[in-house]
Amino acid sequence: MEEELKISATNQSEVTCKQCAAKLTFAPGTTSLKCEYCGAENEIIVQNDAVQEIDFEKFLTEKFSSIQKQEISTVRCEGCGAQTTFDKNVVSELCPFCGSVLVVKDSSTQTIVKPGSLLPFKIDTNKAFQQFQIWLRKLWFAPSDLKKFATQQEKLKGMYIPYWTYDSKTYAKYTGERGDDYQATETYTTTQNGKSVTQTRTVTKTRWHSVSGNVNNVFDDVLILASKSLPKKYTEKLEPWDLDQLVNYDEQFLSGFRTETYQVDMKDGFTEAKIKMESIIRNTVNKDIGGDHQRILTLSTTYNDVTFKHILLPVWISAYRYNNKVYRFLVNGRTGEVQGERPWSWIKITLTILAGIVIIGGIIGLIEIYGN
């Protein structure tokens, strides 16, 4: 088999302004690169080709050889393990994921699967920061210096986060039990007026019988985070993403932003995708069993026509350190949805509790005075 190794350029290339030669950056919400000095705009020619799905079995058989790759230079953060691109001519910077110092001399070059598509940033840093401030103002008992942090827009960094998506047709065979409820009358003994009496009542019982069968499901774009730098419980709350708006990968969309490389490979990603699929398959099996109650005893699933994509999704990220602990705030770069970790000010909580005790004590005192 002839190897089709395709390597793209390292990191996102700089695009210069035709008028003043300054670096152009992608303008969120548009399809243009914009010069921050003279205001000139360069339109990005968006490819309308269908976003490519990669055959998963073929990928495993050919062992990474016939898939498009790119060679990229990244810096690994010693604080959180994130691997991100580094802007040219910058020797050090803070990690957007945890705030640790990154040094360019620690960079390394690696060959990875090239992203096939992405969702460009739709909201800019000003809108993202407004959403961030609104979210912060809603936090009860937040430390005072956290509110000060809300004035530092430069802390908010635009990042393209790596994801995998998986498509699959599944065929699942199962055995189990179906439970059908029915009403029955039973007698019981109780005590009334000191005497033992026998009475009847209607109760619901379940009649179980064995079942078996098979179900089919079709999955499209099961989304799996390929990063280990962000907590899933927050990234999942950034969903849904408008994946129907994916565009073919073009480095021009990355200009002015940074990207993280994947830390979860496509095989491990599919293992996670199966877990997501299984819960839906089980729901389908329960519907197929029917009745009032269901028990699944065995379940065997075959995955057919499996394909995957490597995509990048836009997230505004800010890392905040409080009492030597890192807290991350995330803003969906398409919708403005905000999620994040938050510290608590135990001083404020304690003072509030004490104030409440004083108020309650005062009320009790007044009741005692005027109640007499």
How confident is the model at residue 130, as a pLDDT? 85
How confident is the model at residue 2, as a pLDDT? 32
User: Is residue 132 included in any domain, yes or no?
Assistant: yes
According to DSSP, the residues that pair with 247 across neighbouring strands are: 118
How confident is the model at residue 4, as a pLDDT? 32
Encoding tokens for residue 146?
């956290």
Residue type, 301: T
Task: Please choose, from the candidates 280, 268, 158, the residue with its C-alpha nearest in 3D space to the C-alpha of residue 219.
Answer: 280
How confident is the model at residue 351, as a pLDDT? 58
Residue 199 has φ and ψ, to the nearest 5°, of -135, 170
User: Is residue 117 included in any domain, yes or no?
Assistant: yes
Q: Cα angle vertex 66, ends 65, 70, to 5°?
A: 80
Say if CB 102 and CB 296 are below 8 A apart: no
How many residues are there in the chain? 372
User: Is residue 194 included in any domain, yes or no?
Assistant: no
User: Is residue 354 included in any domain, yes or no?
Assistant: no
Task: Please choose, from the candidates 168, 335, 93, 155, the residue with its C-alpha nearest in 3D space to the C-alpha of residue 237.
Answer: 335
Domain count, the chain: 1
How confident is the model at residue 219, as a pLDDT? 98
How confident is the model at residue 333, as a pLDDT? 95
Encoding tokens for residue 90?
């910058």
Rounded to whole angstroms, the Cα distance separating 69 from 65 reads: 9
User: Is residue 332 included in any domain, yes or no?
Assistant: yes
User: Is residue 360 included in any domain, yes or no?
Assistant: no
Residues of the chain with pLDDT under 50: 1-12, 89-92
Whole-model pTM? 0.79
In terms of residue numbers, what domain contains 227?
A: 6-173+211-341
Q: Cα angle vertex 269, ends 265, 272, to 5°?
A: 150
Helix (H, G, I), strand (E, B) or coil at 86: coil
User: Is residue 190 included in any domain, yes or no?
Assistant: no
Q: Cα angle vertex 222, ends 220, 228, to 5°?
A: 160
Encoding tokens for residue 334?
């398409």
**Count of other CB atoms within 10 angstroms of residue 242:** 10
How confident is the model at residue 63, as a pLDDT? 64
Strands (DSSP E) contained in 119-259 are 157-192, 195-225, 247-248, 258-259
User: Is residue 186 included in any domain, yes or no?
Assistant: no
DSSP codes, 251-298: GGGGTTSEEB--SS-HHHHHHHHHHHHHHHHHHHHHHHH-SSEEEEEE
pLDDT in tens, 118-129: 999 999 988 888
How confident is the model at residue 9, as a pLDDT? 37
- 96: enclosing H helix or E strand: none
Say if CB 338 and CB 317 are below 8 A apart: no
How confident is the model at residue 58, as a pLDDT? 87
